[in-house]
Structure 1
Amino acid sequence: MAQEDNTKRIEEAKQMAKDQPAKAEQIYKDILQKPPGSNDRAARDYEGALMGLGELYRDHKRTNDLANLVQQTRDVLTSFARAKTAKLVRQLLDLFTAIPDTLETQIAVTKSCIDWAVSQRQGFLRQNLEVRLVSQYMQKQAYYDSLTLINSLLKELKRLDDKLVLVEVQLLESRVYHALGNVPKGRAALTSARTSAASVYCPPLLQAGLDMQSGQLHAEDGDFNTAFSYFIEAMEGYHSQDEPAKATSALQYMLLCKVMMNANDDVENLMTSKHALRYAGKN
């Protein structure tokens, strides 16, 4: 009966989250006070309350409270299966990305979670978090910190033969070198990423990232025709995964390629195409 009540209380809290956040927060906290144990229903309720509270903090831009929530609930999550624990930690960290100006906090919390994953001997989660940290360093333009971590990950991933994560890290390596202006090394890393991707199923979002990077490097070489073809693939990939910002960026590169080729008619046609109309806006 208590478990049924908790399920209903979580639904009530979700309804209150916008207009009565304090009441919703208290409901979530009450449920989270009791560890879930091994009961499936209780575990689902705990997960629902945890994510509900995290989303509430996100929506109200309570960055410090969200950071504390991540750190305070990690040990409880060890009672879940390892895959579930890893998923919940990643989902909680994802909530930060919707809050502006939180990059430094994201880096600090991710580092803390990496240390925790090491202490729990959760190698897969630690790898995933280190890849996340590389991306955060790149956002901060701390490229040499990114490379240090990338080099460590590459050695480990090649030894473990984890091709999918290897593709992701090699793509990040290419982006870092490109950002540093070292196009030859950026191209070499991208070639390695595409070679690794050829032997494993590559999710659409990752494939779009490979195409986007390929387009940018071809554009660096002045091969705008080939770059354009890659940007088309990237845009379609991002569109299929509901990534409008990235799809818009790919479209902008497509237009730039046509401008650089002095293909004025193509620019006009592209501007009135379904692709341009789909992502029309202030950008």
Structure 2
Amino acid sequence: MLPEDSIRILDARKAIKSDPKNAEAQFMQIISQPPSVTSDAAVREYETALISLGQLYKDQNSPNQLADLISTSRAVLSSFAKAKTAKLVRQLLDLFHGIPNSTDIQVTVTKSCIQWATSERRGFLRQNLEVRLVKLHMIKAAYYEALILINSLLKELKRLDDKLVLVEVQLLESRVYHVLGNTSKGRAALTSARTSAASIYTPPLLQAGLDLQSGKLHAEDKDFSTAFSYFIEAMDGYHSQDEPEKATAALQYMLLCKIML
């Protein structure tokens, strides 16, 4: 027989399509009662209800409700282990992806989460959120704001010797300088990223990003043959990670290089 918490979650999920308001109310009822951190079942129920409610708001294209959910849930998340909290906050913020015209709200919520993570002394989460904020600034073409945050992160990450996040931030730095037309600084940042990546395991998506940026900078130098090789690697990397849009972009760059050869 299923435990009570599982039954409550199942009942709420059953109502999502037929009666979303009822489903929302049921999920809200569950998360309104902070779970006992000593009960794995209660914590799991809270996590499931929280993410399910966030997914419901995403499906309804309701960014304001999702933002409110993230803000109000932080009081409970403060009592969770740091790794679990970081995972849940990232999952909730990821739900904004696909909601139209939500970038401004994402910036506001992410900044708020950064302030909260700082006050809670959750350094790893704060760094992760700051990297996310850099990407949002780039989407909004707020490149100078992105650079200010990048420079702050680079100083901290080099001191902490956190190579994986350092590679990601150096890659973002290269992209920003490239967009701003400063190819020399973009190339220098990419060289730093590749040097940092040489001593660690680089996840496939990050490696594909490095290859794509390398291809772009070689294309800027009119070295289309080398650029083509990098774009092939990037396309394969994105395809292997089920990123069709990015894989298609790499393929388009490959075709452009073939035309220019």
TM-score tier (shorter): over 0.9
1:30: how far off? 0.8
The offset of 1:5, in angstroms, is: 2.0
Could you list the runs of 5+ residues in structure 2 that have no partner in the other structure?
Answer: none
Taking the aligned partners of 2:134 and 2:4, their CA distance within structure 1 comes to 42
Q: CA deviation at 1:14?
A: 2.1
Cross-structure match for 2:130: 130
In the other structure, the counterpart of 2:185 is: 185
Within 5 Å, give how 1:106-121 maps onto structure 2. 106-121=106-121
Structure 1 residue 80 displacement after superposition: 1.2
Cα drift, residue 15 of structure 1 = 2.8
Measure the CA separation in 2 of the matches of 1:248 and 1:14.
Answer: 35
Query: 1:80 is paired with a residue of what secondary structure?
Result: coil
Q: Measure, in 2, the Cα distance between the counterparts of 1:54 and 1:37.
A: 21
Equivalent position SS for 1:97 = coil
Q: Quote the residue 2:222 is aligned against.
A: 222
Partner of 2:257: 257
Residue 166 of structure 1 aligns to a residue in which SS? helix
RMSD: 1.1
1:140-186: per-residue Cα shift (whole Å, max 9, x none)?
00000000000000000000000000000000000000000000000
- 2:63 matched to which residue of 1? 63
1:171 alignment partner AA: L
Distance apart, 1:11 and its partner CA: 2.0
SS in 2 for 1:100: coil
Tell me how far apart the structure 2 counterparts of residues 249 and 19 of structure 1 sit (CA, whole Å). Answer: 39
Q: How many residues align?
A: 260
Deviations 1:14-59 (A, max 9, x none): 2322332111101101111110112110000000000000000000
The secondary structure found in structure 2 opposite 1:114 is helix
Identity of aligned residues (%): 68
Query: In structure 1, what is the equivalent of residue 150 of structure 2?
Result: 150
Aligned partner of 1:52 in structure 2 is 52
Contact conserved, 2:5 with 2:41, CA < 8 A, in 1? no
Aligned-residue offset at 1:10? 1.1
Q: Which residue of 2 aligns with 1:6?
A: 5
* Matching of residues 160-179 of structure 1 within 5 Å: 160-179=160-179
Give unmatched runs, 5+ long, in structure 1.
Answer: 262-283
31-40 or 168-177: bigger deviation? 31-40
Q: Which amino acid aligns with 2:19?
A: Q
Cα offsets for 1:54-82 (capped at 9, x unmatched): 00000001111000000000110112110
**4+ long deviations beyond 3 Å:** none
2:199 maps to: 199
CA contact (8 A) 1:37 1:79 kept: no
